[in-house]
A = this chain, B = another copy of it.
Amino acid sequence: MVKAVVVGSVALDSIRTPFGEVHEALGGSASYAGYASSFFSKTGIVGVVGSDFPKKHLDLFKRKGIDLSGLSFADGKTFRWHGYYEFDLNQAHTVKTELNVFEEFQPVLPDSYRKAKFLFLGNIGPELQLNVLGQMASRPKLVVADTMNYWIEKSRETVLEVVKAVDIMLFNDAEARQLFRTPSIVKAARMALALDSDYAIIKKGEHGALMFTPKSHFSAPAYPLENIVDPTGAGDCFGGAMTGYLAKTGSLTEKNLRKAIIFGSAVASLDAEGFSLENLKKISLKDIEARVQEFKEIVHF
């Protein structure tokens, strides 16, 4: 039984960083978030690939126990992203985006997904995010959504509707400032909370993450990555792992959300230590738990 549903892109990424490069490696928000979630809970992916999508990537998902009944196969080529990072690894530079079959992506949830209690709406158009939410048999226990500057610029009002419709909206600090038109992260978070959100989470990359509730504030540290190789997908891993962890543990108390954020940060940091999903492929839940323990030591005083 699928416990966590993850919607997003499945892509072939060509990436160069100061530490190396890969050509047409597995990427996309649903790939990263789904894989990250599957460390904790039975996860189903919703996405689309083309007829050129390598079987080895499907095999990777299957070996991890990921349900692929929501992955559709369209005639045409798989979504491709070509980008690079300079020494400032917080900033991805796009060389070329080929949407291909992703351009006409109309997510359809298999029946087996519609009763899942945990839903992660990865970074796709906000109207598609709302559409997927509407396909669920009943309101899930928790809906987490991610977005990006592109959608805030193009469809600000719809992004605000998503913030209202979901339980947790993930922003990075620039996106939060942009959406709520304020230079203050704290004020942006308050505005997100006022839109009927229980929790506002701000991802700050190398500075960690913040969670605001109407009454409290949580600061998660960043892991000091000396051996960062490729940050692609770290934000998706954060959201996917958080959702999978919450689906596994079931509790939505603030205490458990704090833990979920740390588990999300741990998987994100492990992701960034390799290109594509290379490092994630090598690790197990034990490695994630060891990193969570390191996070404890990092903040203890």
In whole angstroms, what is the CA distance A204 to B173 when docked? 15
- Given A204-B207, A224-B210, A216 and B297 contact (CB-CB distance below 8 Å): yes
**Does A104 reach chain B (CB closer than 8 Å)?**
no
Most B CB contacts (10 A, CB to CB) among A183, A259, A299 go to A299
B88 touches A298 (CB 8 A): no
Q: A187–B227 Cα gap in the complex (Å)?
A: 10
Report the count of interface residues on A (CB-CB < 8 A): 36
Indicate if the CB atoms of A301 and B183 lie closer than 8 Å.
Answer: no
A208-B216 in contact given A186-B224, A224-B186 (Cβ < 8 Å): no
Interface string of A257-287 (1 = CB under 8 A from B): 0110110000000000000000000000000
Contact among B207, B297, B300 with A207 in the assembled complex (CB-CB below 8 Å): B207
A258/B226 in contact, CB under 8 A: no
Most buried by B among A88, A224, A297: A224
Instruction: Flag whether A49 is at the interface (Cβ < 8 A).
Output: no
Q: How far, in Å, is A62 (CB) from chain B's closest CB?
A: 33
Instruction: Please name all residues of chain B whose beta carbon is closer than 8 Å to the beta carbon of A300 when the two chains form the complex.
Output: 258
**A10 within 8 Å of B by Cβ?**
no
Known interface pairs A207-B204, A210-B224, A224-B210. Does A298 touch B219 (Cβ–Cβ under 8 Å)?
yes
Contacts of A259 in B (CB 8 A): 301
In the assembled complex, A251 has its CB within 8 A of some CB on chain B: no
**In the bound complex, what is the Cα–Cα distance between A208 and B207 (angstroms)?**
8
Q: Is residue A33 within 8 Å, beta carbon to beta carbon, of the partner chain?
A: no
Known: A210-B224, A224-B210. A298 touches B217 (CB 8 A): yes
Contact of A226 among B186, B222, B298, B299 (CB under 8 A): B186
- The secondary structure that dominates the A interface is mixed
Q: Report B-chain residues with C-beta under 8 Å of the C-beta of A87.
A: 183-184
Q: Check if A50 is an interface residue, CB within 8 A of chain B.
A: no
In the complex, the answer to whether B258 meets A184 with C-beta atoms within 8 Å is no
Roughly how many angstroms separate A261 CA and B299 CA in the complex, as a whole number?
Answer: 12
Please give the distance in Å from A66's CB to the nearest CB on chain B.
27
Residues of B within 8 A of A301 (CB): 218, 220, 255, 258-259, 261-262, 295-296
* Min CB gap A234→B, angstroms: 16
Query: Are A183 and B226 in contact, with the CB atoms below 8 A?
Result: no
